[in-house]
Amino acid sequence: MKKSIAVVLLVIAGLLFLFGPATAENQAGLNELKQKADAFWSDRGDLNKALEAINTYQEVLKQKPDDIQAAVRIAYGYWWLGKNSTEEKAKMTWHDKGVAAAKLAIQINDREPGAHYWLAVNWAEYGKAKGIIKSIFLIKPIRQELAKVRELDEKYLKGGFYRVNGKVYCEVPGLLGGDRKKCYEYYKKAIEIAPDHLVNHLFLAEAYLEDKDREKAREQVDFILNAPLEPDFMPDDRLYKRQAEDLLKKINKK
């Protein structure tokens, strides 16, 4: 009996000797790959770097298929590329990829709010590029995904549930569930959750301008243009500041 135990222990020791260092080495390589992806991501204002980040996060997933952070970042990255595209066809292509990436993230971990959030947002942007009338079928699933975000983390991504729901209520025609009152309520709730997050103010400014309230729109635009960049959202904030400058031109236009 003792001899059998000794043999088993020797086998285990041998396996640890053979595979232990390799596992540590693999983990070190994976960590290095993640750091590389994160570095590209931090510089995503350069869209080539954003694409490099996506490709590198995909390499992370190949090595660690359950890495939910990498999966969510890929869906976010495709949204970013679509948001910064000027051609509608390119927007639809990137957001369609974002939808597929977000669905994969949900398969990896259904309890990750970011997976549901980026599915909803990519669907919303895809629908916007396609045209609201042609994308009526997306309204219900977008709201279902947003409801899941609220269930998992009401404050996810600086009030993302409220911000995107507000956008849906603002942009969808009343006959299809749009509601200007709820639009403002949701935007203001997002600002209450994250008062320094610029896109919360940008969406509210857009709504005010659409409703011809130039002074209230100007207040929000002034806030955006004078606010500092958030460290984790510097490329995003630069985009929002450019959009705020465009809004200011419209506000000042007589």
**Sequence-distant contacts of 32-41: CB under 8 A, at least 24 apart:** 33/59, 33/60, 33/63, 34/60, 34/70, 37/70, 37/73, 41/73, 41/77
Sign of CA dihedral 195, 197, 198, 203: negative
The pTM of this model reads 0.88
Q: How far is it, in rounded angstroms, from Cα 4 to Cα 100?
A: 52
On whether the CB atoms of residues 216 and 254 are closer than 8 A, the answer is: no
Ordered by start, the domain boundaries in the chain are 28-153, 154-254
Position 136 scores a pLDDT of 83
Measured between alpha carbons, how far is residue 81 from residues 36, 106, 148, 154, 232 in Å?
Answer: 19, 21, 25, 26, 18
Q: Name the token pair of 229.
A: 């960049």
Burial of 19 (0-12, 13-18, 19+ CB in 10 A): exposed
Check if 28-153 and 154-254 are the same fold.
Answer: yes
Q: How far is it, in rounded angstroms, from Cα 33 to Cα 27?
A: 10
Position 3 scores a pLDDT of 56
Position 33 scores a pLDDT of 95
Secondary structure of residue 179 in the 3-state scheme:
coil
Position 125 scores a pLDDT of 93
For 154-254, CATH gives: 1.25.40.10
Position 15 scores a pLDDT of 47
In CATH terms, the fold of domain 28-153 is 1.25.40
Residue pLDDT tens, the chain, 254 long: 555 555 444 544 454 454 444 466 678 889 999 999 999 999 999 999 999 999 999 999 999 999 999 999 999 999 999 999 999 999 999 999 999 999 999 999 999 999 999 999 999 999 888 876 667 889 999 999 999 999 999 999 999 999 999 999 998 888 778 899 999 999 999 999 999 999 999 999 999 999 999 999 999 999 999 999 999 999 999 999 999 999 999 999 85
The distance from CA 73 to its chain's CA centroid, rounded to whole angstroms, is 7
On whether the CB atoms of residues 140 and 107 are closer than 8 A, the answer is: no
On whether the CB atoms of residues 174 and 161 are closer than 8 A, the answer is: no
Q: How far is it, in rounded angstroms, from Cα 94 to Cα 79?
A: 7
Position 4 scores a pLDDT of 58
Position 29 scores a pLDDT of 80
